[in-house]
Structure 1
């Protein structure tokens, strides 16, 4: 195992778990759940942990991960308490954060396949969620939630690759790039 002080695996795990939780709860696959039920997970794991991981990355000189994790930590901290906002305010909030995710997608191009997948899918999820919020469209909101869940899987896999150095029980994990 590597002894570097990078918080990137922590940030990717926090992002992955938050997106998975938010996405799965938003799909309605689990009876009696909604994306609103993920507020405490989003605030604690997504907001606080991502923000701390981002500060750690900045301290280590990693501008990309530092920017991604602190800004997304701020997003989740605010979004978890934004339930009282009207639909136009919430839709605009999601659309503005989709612009941030688009910037992160462009910046992640040199960071590897899993970063591009995570931030690209996050962008799509936020755009779908914004449109669904403006139009009060449940089916589009569920589609955005599914995309968020897949983005969460990409972030989680990225963290798994980093923490295991691309191997599990001595066997190389697939798509180890």
Structure 2
């Protein structure tokens, strides 16, 4: 683990693990865009919705129950035994992961911006995070000093609204965080 510490306050400014896992190309069935190529991470004999090259991590926020070191606790990984993510329950999360990869590439290739903060920050996506938002009918970017940085996505409401996970939503939340970090 590499830590960057503010010499004046002693606060942790940034951290990252030097332990790397292998990114592999996979495919995923998204919620709105059918099957798309995605980058996944080979981890403990399975694959998860994590792209270490772009530093994007998509987690299940169904059981968020707190915060520890600026990261939501109670989350879980979306995993698959192969590089193909096609279960119906994972489709909204795959849409978020794919959309965030597209958004990241746009900002990197067009604006030469490395992540939303320009400094390679982890892009944390939490799908099905209605408990933290107070509603499943929304999405949001959260940036609170010494608290948490990430994007949360709602699962929608049956009979009323589909999951809030489209490419435009991912782009909007990423842009929102980039404005916080100017």
| Structure with the bigger percentage of strand | 2
TM-score by length of 1: 0.33
TM-score by length of 2: 0.32
| Structure with the bigger percentage of helix | 1
Higher relative contact order at CA 8 Å, sep ≥6: structure 1 or structure 2?
1
